[in-house]
Amino acid sequence: MVKRKINLRKIVGVAVVFLILIALIVGVAFFFFGMSDNGDFEVDRLFIRTILKESGGAETDISINNKNTGFQDFSINVNEVRNLVVIKEREFSLGYEEEKHVMIEFNAVNGTTPGIYLGNIEIKSNGNTKKIPITVEVQSEEVLFSPSVTLIPQGKDLIPGQKLNAEIKIFNLQDFGRTTVELTYFIKDFEGRTITSESEEKIVEGSSIGFSVTLELPSNLRLGDYSFGIITEYEGSVGTLSRTFKVVESIEGNQAGFDSKTLLVVVVVFGFFFLVFLVLLIYSIFYRDKLLVELQNQYKGELRRQKKLIGDKKTEDYSKLSTAGEKKEYLKEINEIKRLRFLSLKQTKKKKEVELKQIKKSYKGSSLKAQLEKWKKKGYDTGVLETKYKLPNVKSIKAKVNMWKKKGYDTSILEKNKFSF
């Protein structure tokens, strides 16, 4: 009984861990998918950047896919750069899994000052909103000095209060001699706010010049997408370049190279293998204990068989005994045979349990089942047992008591007692 209670505790413990793990995986999946998918539709663009010449134009498109099971109405708005961006089809409806390609036109109309313009395209449907940051760089017809920018550390997110480092190169495209170029650097968000801005003059000699710029982010800066921009100006020539970066609350996960979906995949994969481990553990507890129980049932079944066999024999023989002495001797012998047979069965059971545990240690589940089936078919092989411990019979008992009388043994003691069974 104690052994079964211990196993019950194990089973309850495994079940609790299993339920907690399921709840954890479901919670994490809900959190990350709920936070990242942002509703019932998908957009194929995370960011749009285009470069225009004065009075020039360009076009691109975005793809919107409805993930809702029913029809959805969509509306599209352009913020901050309306004079540069034209979307003709701003409202439409989509069925489930239906996709729409929306054309976007960029036009630097007459009078547009060369520079870097930031805004966003806002897509709404059923209360859900997604924003696509837009960068429109308008350059002069001829660019004499072209900038190149590499943000350090490259491809990494920043946190409020951190410094942004930029490695900058200015290329002299017309091989001017020693020339002074006006430079402007800035950090802006995509809602029209300038976070910081600096201007200076640099002397360019030869084909290019390289230098570093450090700009400090405010400690109270809101989380989101930002752009670092540089503008070069020389005698009416304007060159531009921008790089987008993200400000996050913490960079620990990002420095390790994990985003939310990657983390989710890691959690799900870990959860899968852990579930496999739990299944194997439960298999070990239930299935292998079941084998021991089956072995115990075989033992109990053989005990019942022997009890019935001995009981039937006793009933048959007892009525054929004429004296109390014969009956007492018969009961004495048959009870001893019964004890020896039961003891032998118990020893056989223990021997099988040891063998079963040895197979369990090697983790061969198929061998366990095969051995148990073998024992089941073979039974307890009581032929040897019944030959070794033969039940008494009426003839042998009568002969034994008569022999005692002939030899002069006092059998009156046997006659005095009455026996029942």
Concatenated DSSP letters of 98-116 = -EEEEEEEEE--TTPPSEE
Q: 264 lies in a domain?
A: no
Supply the angle between the helices 260-283 and 2-37 in degrees, to the nearest 10.
160
Q: What is the pLDDT of residue 382?
A: 62
Task: Give me the mean pLDDT over the 230-236 stretch.
Answer: 93
How many Cβ atoms are within 10 Å of 420's Cβ, its own excluded? 6
Q: What is the pLDDT of residue 177?
A: 83
315 and 401 belong to one structural domain: yes
Q: Which of 116, 7, 126, 146 is nearest to 52 (CA)?
A: 116
Q: 208 lies in a domain?
A: yes
How many angstroms separate the most distant Cα atoms in the chain?
147
Task: Give me the mean pLDDT over the 130-134 stretch.
Answer: 92
Q: Which of 226, 257, 288 is the last residue of a domain?
A: 257
287 and 407 belong to one structural domain: yes
More confidently predicted of 205 and 295 = 205
147 and 135 belong to one structural domain: no
CA–chain centroid gap for 345, Å, is 50
- CATH no. for residue 240? 2.60.40.3880
* Weakest mean pLDDT among 150-159, 339-348, 401-410: 401-410
290 and 403 belong to one structural domain: yes
Q: 53 lies in a domain?
A: yes
Q: 233 lies in a domain?
A: yes
110 and 166 belong to one structural domain: no
More confidently predicted of 11 and 167 = 167
Considering the entire predicted model, what is its pTM?
0.54
398 and 298 belong to one structural domain: yes
Asked if pLDDT for residue 221 goes beyond 80, the answer is yes
Which tens digits make up the pLDDT trace of 167-202? 999 999 988 888 999 999 999 999 889 999 999 999
Percent of the chain with pLDDT over 70: 74
Q: What is the pLDDT of residue 363?
A: 52
Which tens digits make up the pLDDT trace of 381-396? 566 667 777 888 778 8
- Token pair for residue 408? 């002069």
- The sign one gets for the Cα dihedral 256, 262, 267, 269 is negative
Cβ contact 63:103 at 8 Å: no
* Weakest mean pLDDT among 21-30, 100-109, 120-129, 141-150: 21-30
327 and 246 belong to one structural domain: no
Beta bridge partners of 239: 232
Provide DSSP, 14-38.
HHHHHHHHHHHHHHHHHHHHHHHH-
Task: Give me the mean pLDDT over the 28-45 stretch.
Answer: 63
Give the pLDDT band of residue 37 (cuts 50, 70, 90): very low
Asked if pLDDT for residue 235 goes beyond 60, the answer is yes
- Domains contained in the chain, number: 3
Q: 28 lies in a domain?
A: no
Q: 275 lies in a domain?
A: no
Q: What is the pLDDT of residue 255?
A: 47
133 and 104 belong to one structural domain: yes
Give the pLDDT band of residue 1 (cuts 50, 70, 90): very low
Cβ contact 115:87 at 8 Å: no
- CATH no. for residue 86? 2.60.40.10
Q: Which of 121, 139, 157 is the last residue of a domain?
A: 139
133 and 171 belong to one structural domain: no
Q: What is the pLDDT of residue 170?
A: 93
Give the pLDDT band of residue 132 (cuts 50, 70, 90): very high
239 and 337 belong to one structural domain: no
Give the pLDDT band of residue 139 (cuts 50, 70, 90): very high
More confidently predicted of 412 and 24 = 24
209 and 248 belong to one structural domain: yes
Q: Which of 106, 139, 172 is the last residue of a domain?
A: 139
Give the ranges where 286-323 is alpha helix by DSSP (H). Answer: 289-318
Cβ contact 212:166 at 8 Å: yes
Cβ contact 211:190 at 8 Å: no
292 and 405 belong to one structural domain: yes
CA–chain centroid gap for 86, Å, is 45
Print the domain residue range for 407.
280-416
Query: Counting beta carbons within 10 angstroms of the beta carbon of residue 212, is it exposed (0 to 12), middle (13 to 18) or buried (19 or more)?
Result: exposed
* Weakest mean pLDDT among 12-26, 65-79, 229-243: 12-26
Integer Cα distance of 235 and 199 in angstroms: 16
Task: Give me the mean pLDDT over the 301-317 stretch.
Answer: 83
Q: 71 lies in a domain?
A: yes
Q: 58 lies in a domain?
A: yes
Query: Counting beta carbons within 10 angstroms of the beta carbon of residue 199, is it exposed (0 to 12), middle (13 to 18) or buried (19 or more)?
Result: exposed
Q: How far is CA 56 from CA 82, 110, 234, in A?
A: 16, 9, 21
More confidently predicted of 110 and 196 = 196
Cβ contact 90:36 at 8 Å: no
Cβ contact 183:240 at 8 Å: no
